[in-house]
């Protein structure tokens, strides 16, 4: 009898206490990247609903999956520790949901960074950092209602990484560097000061750095990552996140950012380093689209001897150079290979595109906070 109770208790704790990235089979993975497909009609392979996605993870899987909004899918499984009332959360668990476009309101762009993500942590073990591009995500802390319907329209990216608790001092500091807006959170008093300071957004002024902040992180299974926090400056040479990344990794980069961003910057081309906009994206075996329907933000090293790929916060425009934000970058050849194949048509230098864009409602009619 006692053996049964002990095993039952351990199973129950494991279902709540294991804070890691999870795949669609609810198995733990060290990290994964999702590239969600935009909703599209009249394509040769048939229409898409906008819930399909391409999945890459630390186990070597790379495949097309569907129903990103499923309660038992990759995101639903990963977010499960979040789907409880705060009063029922263990004292060893904490979370921060941050976004410049949270559900039902908006963050003051003069005070807060252009960034979206989620931190969930078990103080006695591991936690996850999810960096993404989807407005209003998570929509609710509800297994059946975490995905915003507005998220179906455009392509989006997600990266989830499992880290040991000690790495969250660096992550907390990074979130302060980018002035992330924490729209929902629960961080107990015995957590790292760096995480507690993230949620004290009403105290003091925005953090302003006079340089690009670059930090190294190591995942739970020893995968290397680099995290960038950009400067806020209208000068492209200073405020362009992707140019800062290219200079640091010493490689030209292909960059995909929101194609309908007002006054979107051209490719940056010089004899020393270049940031080359992507004009067509191809994912998987049958999907292709243009940046005007792609809200993701990422870049990949062009040099195939420099294996960096970054999932990022920022678009490329002066209005974005003036804001805070950053990127989480993975150093792995197979990931770089996927993203180089995604970037099928680079923008030639000095060529200005004129995308025909549908109105983007992501930021309309939102009450500013801060």
Copy the structure tokens of residue 277. 């906009």
Q: Is residue 363 part of a domain?
A: no
Q: Is residue 370 part of a domain?
A: no
**Exposed, middle or buried: residue 268 (CB in 10 Å: 0-12, 13-18, 19+)?**
buried
Q: Give CA–CA dist 291/281, Å, rounded.
A: 7
The pLDDT of residue 128 is: 99
Give the angle subtended at the CA of 110 by the CAs of 107 and 113, to the nearest 5°: 60
Instruction: For residue 335, give the nearest of 301, 285, 368, 290 by alpha carbon.
Output: 301
Q: Give CA–CA dist 320/264, Å, rounded.
A: 9
The pLDDT of residue 91 is: 93
Q: Is residue 329 part of a domain?
A: yes
Q: Is residue 360 part of a domain?
A: no
Copy the structure tokens of residue 128. 């996850």
The pLDDT of residue 10 is: 39
Q: Quickly tell me which residue has 């806020």 as its tokens.
A: 232
Range of the domain at 69: 13-350
Q: Is residue 366 part of a domain?
A: no
Q: Give CA–CA dist 297/240, Å, rounded.
A: 13
The pLDDT of residue 361 is: 46
User: Residues 160, 32: contact at Cβ < 8 Å?
Assistant: yes
Q: Is residue 8 part of a domain?
A: no
User: Residues 93, 175: contact at Cβ < 8 Å?
Assistant: no
Q: Is residue 299 part of a domain?
A: yes
Copy the structure tokens of residue 258. 């929101």
Residues paired with 91 in a beta bridge: none
Q: Give CA–CA dist 361/363, Å, rounded.
A: 6
Q: Give CA–CA dist 141/82, Å, rounded.
A: 6
Number of domains in the chain: 1
pTM of the model: 0.91
Q: Is residue 107 part of a domain?
A: yes
In order of 31, 159, 225, the CA distances from 221 in angstroms are 9, 16, 12
Q: Quickly tell me which residue has 């750095």 as its tokens.
A: 209
The pLDDT of residue 359 is: 54
Show pLDDT as tens, one digit a residue, over the chain (370 residues).
444 333 433 344 344 558 999 999 999 999 999 999 999 986 666 689 999 999 999 999 999 999 999 999 999 999 999 999 999 999 999 999 999 999 988 888 889 999 999 999 999 999 999 999 999 999 999 999 999 999 999 999 999 999 999 999 999 999 999 999 999 999 999 999 999 999 987 666 778 888 999 999 999 999 999 999 999 999 999 999 999 999 999 999 999 999 888 888 999 999 899 999 999 999 988 899 999 999 999 999 999 899 999 999 999 999 999 999 999 999 999 999 999 999 998 888 765 555 556 655 444 333 444 4
Helix (H/G/I), strand (E/B), else coil: 292: helix
Residues paired with 22 in a beta bridge: 28
Contacts with 295 (C-beta within 8 Å, 6 or more apart), sequence order: 133, 134, 135, 154, 155, 156, 258, 362
């Amino acid at each position: 009898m006692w053996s049964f109770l002990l095993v039952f208790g351990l199973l129950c704790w494991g279902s709540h206490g294991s804070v890691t990235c999870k795949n669609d089979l609810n198995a733990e993975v060290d990290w994964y990247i999702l590239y969600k497909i935009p909703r599209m009609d009249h394509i040769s392979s048939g229409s898409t609903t906008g819930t399909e996605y391409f999945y890459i993870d630390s186990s070597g899987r790379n495949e097309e999956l569907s129903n990103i909004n499923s309660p038992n899918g990759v995101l639903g499984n990963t977010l499960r520790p979040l789907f409880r009332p705060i009063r029922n959360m263990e004292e060893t668990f904490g979370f921060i949901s941050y976004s410049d476009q949270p559900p039902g309101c908006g963050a003051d762009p003069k005070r807060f960074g252009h960034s979206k993500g989620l931190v969930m942590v078990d103080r006695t073990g591991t936690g996850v950092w999810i960096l993404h591009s989807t407005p209003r995500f998570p929509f609710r802390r509800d297994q059946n209602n975490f995905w915003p319907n507005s998220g179906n329209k455009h392509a989006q990216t997600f990266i989830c990484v499992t880290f040991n608790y000690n790495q969250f001092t660096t992550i907390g500091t990074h979130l302060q560097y980018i002035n992330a807006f924490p729209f929902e959170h629960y961080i107990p008093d015995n957590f790292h000061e760096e995480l507690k300071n993230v949620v004290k957004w009403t105290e003091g002024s925005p953090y302003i750095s006079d340089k690009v902040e670059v930090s190294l992180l190591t995942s739970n299974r020893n995968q290397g990552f680099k995290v960038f926090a950009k400067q806020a400056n209208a000068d492209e040479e200073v405020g362009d996140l992707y140019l800062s990344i290219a200079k640091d990794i010493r490689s030209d980069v292909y960059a995909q950012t929101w194609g309908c961003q007002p006054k979107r910057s051209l490719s940056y081309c010089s004899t020393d380093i270049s940031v080359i906009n992507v004009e067509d994206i191809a994912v998987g075996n049958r999907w292709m689209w243009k940046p005007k329907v792609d809200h993701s933000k990422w870049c990949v090293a062009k040099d195939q001897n420099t294996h960096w790929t970054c999932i990022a916060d920022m678009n490329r425009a002066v209005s974005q150079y003036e804001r805070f934000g950053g990127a989480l970058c993975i150093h792995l050849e197979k990931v770089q290979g996927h993203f180089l194949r995604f970037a099928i048509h680079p923008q030639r230098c000095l060529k200005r595109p004129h995308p025909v864009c549908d109105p983007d409602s992501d930021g309309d009619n939102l009450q500013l906070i801060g």
